[in-house]
Structure 1
Amino acid sequence: MPAFPEAAEAAVRDEVLRGNLRHATGTIRARRAAAVAELSDWAALRAAGAAIKERTLRHLDHYLLQVEERVTAAGGVVHWAADAAEANRIVTDLVRETGEREVVKVKSMATQEIGLNEALAEAGITAYETDLAELIVQLGDDRPSHILVPAIHRNRGEIREIFADRMATWGRPAPDGLTDEPAELAEAARLHLREKFLRARVAVSGANFVVAETGTLAVVESEGNGRMCLTLPETLISVVGIEKIVPTWRDLEVFLQLLPRSSTAERMNPYTSLWTGTTEGDGPRAFHLVLLDNGRSDTLADTVGRQALRCIRCSACLNVCPVYERTGGHAYGSVYPGPIGAILTPQLQGMEDELAASLPYASSLCGACYEVCPVAIDIPDVLVHLRERAANGGAVSRRGTPVRIRPARGHAAERAAMRAAAWAFDRPGALRAAQRLGAATRRLHPRRLPGPGRAWTASRDLPTFPEQSFRDWWTRNRDDRQP
């Protein structure tokens, strides 16, 4: 994948994409604001959500062991996956043991993160996405562009064409004469997916939350496909990031208020599915929980960056971000787009990769993402923290081992400029001389910098130098009679 600046430059030229994003994010943003305004205690709920997540992360080792104990006692089997390869191997082996070659999936960002569909395909196993937006992405050989609405970059006409051209390849074809009316598109998807729900014997899910005190998993969704995936198959495999744990049911109550209003602008999710292990004669006969690390423990070791693990995947930060609204999710090159992706991906993947190193700069630092985050993640603060790491390198954790990474490429001029500025600010005489020289030559200054400075002025004008510095103005105009 190209670095964010190159991908974004191409995306902003796509007028259809920008129109789709502007309409969709604007609509979601307005509805969310109205839903949140209904609660007089929203600020208190937000603070509670942040506090619960922070407490859980501080004692994550304890809660993970508690989850394993409770799930096992309820008839489930717990597997530990250190990285994507291990998680994919575990899931693939579990499916193979059933003898099946098809699985149905309820939308799971963790499985997208590890590339599970591709790993299953290599083993001869087909994974069918059942969320409507994920189905559109899968049929279109596309990639998700949004956390909550993966096909947000598509309009109704494009979706109709995808259904008409591709549905037959994956199962039941689209009806003849299909139009782009939402009701007809939804009915075509329902008929296509119902066939798979009734045939599938294995399902793969994620989880929005895992309640440690009982080992209960929760999935919230709006279409009912999750309920079908979680109850009809004989075997259920859930791949869940270790940060999804909440200690108690009382804690879960807080997030079941925060999440729907922040994501879909609903007072509650239409479908909230909860399951604890297995029950004879009710639901799947076998349940497997795969607890996924894949960089999360290393992120936890970063005292500033760890707050990204509070994320409950509501996507509110995407819907208010001026950068995301113009570039879409594909430019981020990750399953986690937008502001949260700009801080989560570099920590999970490491910043040695050019794309990951560019993501902390995919922001204007306007702070809108922090204002809407239901668990108060200070995304701008983490962005600045990661920019420092990209520019200067430093100590990080990799697979639990402290290592020191080198600065990302392209920051040598920035480091030189910062060293020069630090030298000047430490020497008042030199700073005063530089300010006077800048003022004297202000009419000769270019609007764009040459050489390495071109990257900075490619998207902004060079600030105009004032005729005199504040220090000189104060010296000439201050009233010496004032104390």
Structure 2
Amino acid sequence: MTTHAQRAATFLEDGPRTDWHDKSLWHVRSKRDGSIAGIPEWEALRQLGSDIKDNVLSNLDTYLEEFEQRATANGVIVHWAKDAEEHNRIVHGILARHRVDRIVKSKSMLTEECHLNQYLEEQGVEVIDTDLGERIIQMRNEPPSHIVMPAIHLKKEEIGQLFHEQLGTDEGASDPQYLTEAARQHLRAKFLAAKAGITGVNFAVAETGGIVVCTNEGNADMGVHLAPVQIHCMGIEKVIPRAEHLGVFTRLLGRSATGQPITIYTSHHHKPKPGGEMHVVIVDNGRTEQLGREDFRNSLKCIRCGACMNTCPIYRRSGGHSYDHTIPGPIGSILSPGLDLKKHGDLAFASTLCGSCSDVCPVKIDIHAQLYKWRQVVSEEGHLAKSKTIPLLGAGAVLSRGGLYNFMGKAARTALNIVPRAVVYNRFNPWGESRELPEVPKESFKEWYARTQTPEA
């Protein structure tokens, strides 16, 4: 099992790509900053969004039952799934009853989380992702590296080569408009042939029983409008109380995700089309367990905007695939340990704890504080490697004793000036593999302060 640090090191081997990835994401973060600059009530809006989500998490059962009642009254068929396996069986059961062997699907992190594509393909169902970024990575047979921009790790030249090989575009062509038009023509045939359309859910309104899907390409609308069967897959945390609350979240979502005032398509679905069927599959898959963790329940407020990824200095320079989880970046690093602490516990350490993720979160999730708390859980439950626990024991002994701390500081300053470089920079010091220590000072701050402080008269 590889660690985040090892996977990140692989990504960092391509220096130009790393720099480009870093700058591209920071550009999106900058657009976010520019977009909110004209909203004087932005912080109040964030607080309101956070408060609404607090209310939802405290009354989740009530709102979910209300949503089911209203949706059922509208003619929608509502299903409940306790985990990914049950979710996949439900979706396939719907398709099987209608003899559907080909579907189109818009972006849905929940279906990625449940590995729905692989499951359906094993059952003989053709699955076509219709979001452009999702279609690109599907053609490359790899997972998304970002929840909003799934192919952000790829350059247009690589996409051009991919399209040349699989869609027959001109060799060497990399013009975005040309490539997008080629994808459009390719997907149009898939839309027309599909017998069912699947989407994710951004918001489910308990008051109306309707669901809202936000996209920038209109592909979700094409899928569900053309196909007789429409299926919407949602996590239990996506419910909100009333329709009036939508305005809060749509204002927060677009600006936080891409710097837009609102997503291009904000589509409302309340009932099946004439002669068709509308299904909503509500999924738990570990969310109830996370809700019961007092220190981590706020992570369920997430509206999947990706702002924390765009600002995170670790994510920007390590790539989304280094997280080995459906949701990468800071928010993924507090969601994934709850699913498998042994496998994903190291992600809690993939952070500088700078707090930038919490600063940009539109619903004020205390992401960096939760990362710190997960580190404590990892340590307490014995998942830290010996290479970390032993040094930490030594550091604890030194840092808890003033005299020993002063002595060790002086000893280290002396040693660093006289020992050969190989003693400090070697395989036992991963930190030094890509960093240089600053110039060693002649004295500590405490010594300097004692020497320069003028006693008060």
2:337 to 332, 346, 358: 346
Cα distance in 2 for partners of 1:224, 1:339 equals: 28
1:224 aligns with 2:218: yes
- Shift in Å, 1:419: 3.9
Distance change >3 Å, CA 20–CA 469, structure 1 → 2? closer
Cα distance in 1 for partners of 2:298, 2:245 equals: 18
Q: Deviations over 1:178-231 (max 9, x none)?
A: 832222212111111111212222111111111111121111111111111122
2:388 to 399, 410, 414: 414
Cα distance in 2 for partners of 1:293, 1:9 equals: 34
1:299 aligns with 2:274: no
Q: Deviations over 1:218-262 (max 9, x none)?
A: 111111111111222111111111111111112211001011111
Distance change >3 Å, CA 229–CA 382, structure 1 → 2? same
8 Å CA contact retained: 2:161, 2:171: no
Residue in 1 that maps onto 2:87:
87
8 Å CA contact retained: 1:241, 1:293: yes
Residue in 1 that maps onto 2:142:
142
8 Å CA contact retained: 1:140, 1:166: no
- Shift in Å, 1:24: 2.6
Identity %: 38
1:182 to 176, 180, 194: 176
- Please report the TM-score for the alignment, with normalisation by the length of structure 2: 0.91
Alignment of 1:374-393 (within 5 A): 374-393=362-381
2:279 to 276, 288, 296: 288
Cα distance in 2 for partners of 1:372, 1:123 equals: 42
Cα distance in 2 for partners of 1:176, 1:272 equals: 35
Distance change >3 Å, CA 271–CA 421, structure 1 → 2? same
Q: Deviations over 1:407-455 (max 9, x none)?
A: 2241x35334444444455544544554555566564467665899624
8 Å CA contact retained: 1:392, 1:415: no
**Structure 2: which amino acid aligns with 1:351?**
L
- Shift in Å, 1:14: 1.6
Distance change >3 Å, CA 452–CA 384, structure 1 → 2? farther
Cα distance in 1 for partners of 2:171, 2:429 equals: 53
Cα distance in 2 for partners of 1:32, 1:470 equals: 40
Cα distance in 2 for partners of 1:444, 1:19 equals: 36
8 Å CA contact retained: 2:272, 2:278: yes
Residue in 2 that maps onto 1:314:
305
Cα distance in 2 for partners of 1:463, 1:27 equals: 30
- Shift in Å, 1:362: 1.6
Distance change >3 Å, CA 295–CA 157, structure 1 → 2? same
Cα distance in 1 for partners of 2:434, 2:164 equals: 41
* Number of residue equivalences: 456
8 Å CA contact retained: 1:317, 1:368: yes
Q: Residue 342 of structure 2: SS of its match in structure 1?
A: coil
1:271 to 265, 269, 288: 265
Distance change >3 Å, CA 366–CA 427, structure 1 → 2? closer
CA RMSD of aligned residues (A): 2.6
Q: Residue 117 of structure 1: SS of its match in structure 2?
A: helix
Distance change >3 Å, CA 425–CA 115, structure 1 → 2? same
Q: Deviations over 1:280-338 (max 9, x none)?
A: x2xx7212211111121121122222222111111112222222222221111122122
8 Å CA contact retained: 2:345, 2:378: yes
Cα distance in 2 for partners of 1:345, 1:114 equals: 13
Alignment of 1:28-39 (within 5 A): 28-39=28-39
**Structure 2: which amino acid aligns with 1:185?**
L
Higher mean Cα deviation, 116-125 or 81-90? 81-90
Distance change >3 Å, CA 436–CA 333, structure 1 → 2? closer
Residue in 2 that maps onto 1:404:
none
1:333 aligns with 2:324: yes
Higher mean Cα deviation, 176-185 or 157-166? 176-185
Cα distance in 2 for partners of 1:364, 1:446 equals: 30
- Shift in Å, 1:85: 1.2
Q: Residue 352 of structure 1: SS of its match in structure 2?
A: helix
Distance change >3 Å, CA 55–CA 452, structure 1 → 2? farther
1:11 aligns with 2:11: yes
8 Å CA contact retained: 2:321, 2:328: yes
Cα distance in 2 for partners of 1:32, 1:440 equals: 48
Q: Residue 204 of structure 1: SS of its match in structure 2?
A: strand
**Structure 1: which amino acid aligns with 2:327?**
Y
Query: What runs of 5+ residues in structure 2 fail to find an aligned partner?
Result: none
Residue in 2 that maps onto 1:56:
56
Higher mean Cα deviation, 422-431 or 102-111? 422-431
Cα distance in 2 for partners of 1:472, 1:27 equals: 44
Q: Residue 31 of structure 1: SS of its match in structure 2?
A: helix
- Please report the TM-score for the alignment, with normalisation by the length of structure 1: 0.87
Q: Residue 78 of structure 1: SS of its match in structure 2?
A: strand
Distance change >3 Å, CA 420–CA 350, structure 1 → 2? same
Residue in 2 that maps onto 1:243:
237
- Shift in Å, 1:15: 3.6
8 Å CA contact retained: 1:334, 1:341: yes
Cα distance in 1 for partners of 2:143, 2:368 equals: 26
Distance change >3 Å, CA 435–CA 129, structure 1 → 2? closer
